[in-house]
Amino acid sequence: MRIIPAIDIINGKCVRLTKGDYDTQKIYGEDPLEMAKMFEGFGFRYLHLVDLDGAKSKQIVNHKVLESIAKNTKLKVDFGGGIKSISDVELAFSCGAKQITAGSMAVQQPELFLGILQKFGSKKIILGTDVLNRKIATNGWRKYAVDIEMIEFICSYEQKGIEYLICTDISKDGMLQGPATDLYAETLNQTNLKLIASGGCSSIEEIKELKKIGCEGVIIGKAIYENKINLKELAELC
């Protein structure tokens, strides 16, 4: 299972939110590149980089941060936030992303999303699903598509060629009270997708349980920054 540290960016700084609420942002570092280098130094090979400014905007904002990390580390970066067009996808890849994550686009502009999937391939495009009460949330979680049921949505995209899925239960995100393991197990039972769990992990034991149920990867953010999980122990799971 891939162990994927997360860096979220607002105004060029490393932050974390609670339940996706921008008013709860807490700064954990002034320099995302130094944070990325620290992760690489511990032996991590992957990074989940989110442009939270972009998620609120109409396009990618912090692409220079992505470019700096890609040029100065060997981390394989998946990048999300602000990807609203083919040009955004091309920009992310030109700046060094190995994969991109798109969520709101898949809900609001499915034809565009499928065009991107066809152009770049299922190995490079991750379907991002942010979920609240089993419904899909969009636009940095500030708007909710309450009529779209999660499993149905995911299955429809699996049929159209999606291979990778990041699933975040908003109610768990940043709470350090455990991941949505039951939701992930149900998703894995109903699909053959490579599921990357995101949100709520606070212990090595929880991560091992996610591996046991079949998750392809797990994204760890706040638990690292709040020293709930020891980085050396976490790196040993890679």
* Rounded-to-integer distance, Cα 49 and Cα 86, Å: 19
* Rounded-to-integer distance, Cα 55 and Cα 81, Å: 4
* Rounded-to-integer distance, Cα 1 and Cα 213, Å: 11
pLDDT, tens digit, for every residue of 103-127? Answer: 889 998 999 999 999 999 999 999 9
The pLDDT value recorded for residue 22 is 86
Catalytic residues: 8, 130
CATH of the domain at 163: 3.20.20.70
Give the mean pLDDT of 130-143: 73
The pLDDT value recorded for residue 201 is 94
The pLDDT value recorded for residue 146 is 54
The pLDDT value recorded for residue 139 is 59
Contact 7, 36 (CB under 8 A): yes
Number of domains in the chain: 1
- The pTM of this model reads 0.94
The pLDDT value recorded for residue 128 is 95
Give the residue numbers spanning the domain of 66. Answer: 2-235
Residue 210 pLDDT greater than 70, yes or no: yes
Residue 141 pLDDT greater than 70, yes or no: no
Residue 133 pLDDT greater than 90, yes or no: no
pLDDT, tens digit, for every residue of 170-202? Answer: 887 767 889 999 999 999 999 999 999 999 999
